[in-house]
Amino acid sequence: MLDSPPARAFIGLMMLACVIPAQQSHAEEQLPLPRYAAFKSNEVNLRTGPGENYPKRWVYQRAGMPVQIFEEWDTWRHVRDYQGVTGWVSVNLLTGKRTAVVIETRRTLHDAASETAPAVAELDPGVIGRLEECNGDWCRLEVKGYEGWLKRTDIWGVDATENFKE
């Protein structure tokens, strides 16, 4: 019965119906590039190419480190860190939770989005915080239990014109 032409046509159509929605849902999941992400793990291998067969270029040992994704290949992401180092990372080692890293010099985390607002904490370069909101020139971060505002130009992990609220 399954060898009859109508049965083969029906099976073929059913297989095609299963394939088409999968292709559409994959296309809908594609996110814009470039975009930011962060390392999930305390140990992340940065590779010279998209696969475990490529040599390690660097081993990061900081969960939460922000990276910019600028290319995708299968389950691998080509990323850039705040110092400009690039390489490939498995998508399983990344999270969409937004973080930012303090750059250049010690910065003051303020109680409000104003340079005259009271200080909440002093943050050294390389400190990583969770981004909560960015609006205009200021971003709100949470760093080790302290919440406050930093100028967008004092951190890396958010574009110059990107506004968002977590």
What token pair was written down for 5? 């032409």
CA atoms within 13 A on the CB side of 49: 5
The tens digit of pLDDT for each residue in 86-134 reads 999 999 999 999 999 999 999 999 999 999 999 999 999 999 999 999 9
| One domain, residues 81 and 131 | no
Q: Is the pLDDT of residue 56 over 50?
A: yes
Count CB atoms within 10 A of the CB of residue 112: 13
Reduced to 3 states (helix: H, G, I; strand: E, B; else coil), residue 68 is: strand
d(CA 106, CA 127): 9
| One domain, residues 160 and 120 | yes
| One domain, residues 41 and 23 | no
55: CATH: 2.30.30.40
Record the pTM. Answer: 0.81
| One domain, residues 6 and 22 | yes
Number of domains forming the structure of the chain: 3
Q: What is the residue range of 126's domain?
A: 100-165
Instruction: List the one residue out of 62, 9, 69 whose CA is nearest residue 35.
Output: 69
| One domain, residues 110 and 139 | yes
d(CA 99, CA 86): 18
| One domain, residues 61 and 11 | no
The tens digit of pLDDT for each residue in 69-89 reads 999 999 999 999 999 999 999
d(CA 128, CA 110): 16
CA 117 to chain centre: 30
d(CA 47, CA 87): 5
